[in-house]
């Protein structure tokens, strides 16, 4: 189903027809350059936008007349992603090579200076590496907690039983809560004076119990809240795998009197292995971004600063825009590695299955 080849002749460069995209690009470049030189930034942005639209229109007409349907269908999505994601990314790549602060006017080229600074400078590098190590720790703890809880929940819901639909939605609700509300309410549950947790432990042990008083408690509190919110997501994935196992396999296993432990490893596990892998990687990437719960629960105290929150502080609170951009690219690199891993495993799975 490739594009139908067409006999539409390529127009001469100077001919004004709707599908002459080369001319449209030439016009756009000239007009953009003039407007950027002569008009204020806010106005010239829209002028540049209009010329970009002109080029896009020329491409569209060209693709339509030549029956390039694939390009036509994909174009709007690529345009939105380009403006809102890829262009900002390129911009911040550029910024990461400059010394620039959003609240000041000066801008100075420093090359790789920002990267060198965040990775080797005494203070900055210390914070970056500390945050990275904390992030890795949170990834390990939250993801393993979510995998275990999600898996157990999925096993509970795997079979059809009365009222299943209504009980399932109860378990899914934590995922739908706004993280602001659940985070703030977790500070209440953990509160040493009013909180339920301290109340229960105080009345058992008789000593004043403060969960957030040390790193172990603070990490445990954050991990628990995050695992509670996102285990249902893992559950949904595993559940989808569990219900896809054909029933006749279990029936055959029952006839052969295979123990339920072996049944799980021989029949069930191969069906959910790929989905477990997907859940693992998806949650890993999400846990890598963990910031909001940390902000709400500890504000980074007790050495719980994560790389995402570190970035928010640097870029937004301390206005070190270009240093933030450099950290962004450090993160982007790691995300690309993780994404590749994810795709590799996902592809291997579809080929193997």
Query: Of 70, 140, 148, 259, which lies in the binding site for other proteins, with binding defined by CB under 8 A?
Result: 70
Residue 291 CB contacts under 8 Å (≥ 6 apart), including other chains: 306, 308, 309, 312
Q: Which stretch binds other proteins (CB under 8 A): 53-61, 140-148, 259-267, 282-290?
A: 282-290
Q: Which stretch binds other proteins (CB under 8 A): 8-16, 121-129, 155-163, 209-217?
A: 155-163
Question: Where do the DSSP E strands lie in the chain?
Answer: 98-100, 107-109
Using alpha carbons only, give the angle 216, 327, 212 rounded to the nearest 5 degrees.
15
Of residues 59, 101, 91, 50, the one with CA closest to residue 78: 59
Paired residues of 100 in beta bridges? 107
Query: Taking CB under 8 A as the criterion, which residues in 72-131 touch other proteins?
Result: 72-74, 76-78, 80-81, 83-89, 91-92, 95, 102
8 Å CB contact between 101 and 320? yes
CB of 153 to other proteins, least distance (A): 7
Query: Of 50, 336, 344, 348, which lies in the binding site for other proteins, with binding defined by CB under 8 A?
Result: 336
Q: Tokens representing 284?
A: 């890993």
Q: Tokens representing 196?
A: 């339920």
Q: Which stretch binds other proteins (CB under 8 A): 53-61, 65-73, 103-111, 208-216?
A: 65-73
Q: Report if residue 33 touches other proteins, rule: CB under 8 A.
A: no
Please say which residue, 218 or 225, places its beta carbon nearer to other proteins.
225
Backbone angles phi, psi at 193, to 5 degrees: -90, -50
Q: How far is CA 8 from the centre of its chain?
A: 43
CB neighbour burial string for 167-193, b if at least 16 within 10 angstroms, e if fewer: ebeebeebeeeebeebbeebeebbbee
CB of 125 to other proteins, least distance (A): 20
Contact letters for other proteins, residues 230-259 (x by CB under 8 A): ---x--xx-xxx-xx---------------
Query: Of 105, 205, 350, 351, which lies in the binding site for other proteins, with binding defined by CB under 8 A?
Result: 350
What is the C-alpha separation between 7 and 150, in angstroms, rounded? 57
Q: Tokens representing 315?
A: 């870029």
Please say which residue, 26 or 158, places its beta carbon nearer to other proteins.
158
Q: Which stretch binds other proteins (CB under 8 A): 11-19, 205-213, 215-223, 330-338?
A: 330-338
Please say which residue, 23 or 296, places its beta carbon nearer to other proteins.
296
CB of 315 to other proteins, least distance (A): 5
Query: Of 105, 160, 207, 351, which lies in the binding site for other proteins, with binding defined by CB under 8 A?
Result: 160
What is the C-alpha separation between 133 and 139, in angstroms, rounded? 10
What is the C-alpha separation between 278 and 234, in angstroms, rounded? 9
Query: Of 34, 112, 140, 343, which lies in the binding site for other proteins, with binding defined by CB under 8 A?
Result: 343
Please say which residue, 56 or 240, places its beta carbon nearer to other proteins.
240
Q: Report if residue 185 touches other proteins, rule: CB under 8 A.
A: yes
Please say which residue, 141 or 230, places its beta carbon nearer to other proteins.
230
CB of 16 to other proteins, least distance (A): 28
Please say which residue, 218 or 242, places its beta carbon nearer to other proteins.
242
Query: Of 52, 97, 289, 345, which lies in the binding site for other proteins, with binding defined by CB under 8 A?
Result: 289
Q: How far apart, in Å, do the first and last CA atoms of the chain sit?
A: 26
Q: What is the DSSP letter of 5?
A: P
Let me know if 226 is exposed, middle or buried by CB neighbors in 10 A (0-12, 13-18, 19+): buried
Size of the site for other proteins (CB under 8 A): 104
């Amino acid at each position: 189903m490739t594009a139908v080849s067409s006999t539409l002749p390529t127009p001469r460069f100077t001919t004004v027809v709707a599908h002459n995209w080369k001319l449209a690009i030439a016009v756009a470049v000239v007009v953009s350059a003039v407007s950027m030189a002569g008009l204020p930034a806010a106005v010239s942005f829209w002028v540049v936008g209009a010329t970009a639209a002109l080029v896009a229109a020329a491409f569209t007409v060209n693709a339509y007349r030549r029956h390039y349907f694939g390009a036509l269908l994909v174009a709007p999505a690529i345009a939105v992603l380009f403006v809102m994601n890829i262009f900002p990314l390129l911009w911040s790549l550029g910024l990461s090579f400059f010394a620039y602060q959003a609240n000041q006017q000066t801008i100075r080229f420093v090359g790789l200076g920002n990267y060198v600074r965040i990775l080797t400078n005494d203070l900055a590098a210390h914070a970056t590496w500390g945050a990275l190590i904390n992030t890795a720790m949170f990834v390990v703890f939250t993801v393993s907690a979510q995998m275990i809880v999600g898996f157990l929940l999925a096993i509970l819901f795997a079979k059809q039983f009365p009222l299943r639909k209504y009980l399932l939605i109860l378990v899914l609700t934590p995922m739908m809560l706004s993280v602001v509300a659940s985070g703030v309410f977790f500070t209440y549950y953990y509160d040493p004076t009013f909180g339920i947790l301290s109340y229960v432990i105080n009345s058992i042990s008789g000593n004043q119990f403060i969960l957030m008083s040390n790193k172990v408690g603070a990490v445990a509190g954050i991990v628990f809240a995050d695992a509670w919110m996102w285990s249902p997501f893992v559950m949904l994935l595993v559940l989808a795998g569990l219900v896809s196992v054909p029933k006749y396999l279990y029936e055959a296993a029952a006839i052969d009197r295979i123990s339920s432990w072996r049944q799980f490893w021989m029949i069930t596990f191969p069906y959910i292995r790929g989905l477990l892998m997907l859940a693992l990687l998806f949650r890993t990437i999400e846990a890598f971004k963990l910031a909001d719960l940390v902000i709400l629960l500890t504000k980074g105290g007790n050495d719980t600063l994560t790389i995402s929150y570190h970035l928010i502080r640097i870029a937004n609170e301390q206005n070190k825009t270009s240093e933030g951009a450099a950290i962004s690219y450090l993160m982007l690199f790691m995300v690309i590695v993780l994404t590749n891993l994810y795709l590799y495993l996902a592809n291997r799975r579809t080929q193997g299955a």
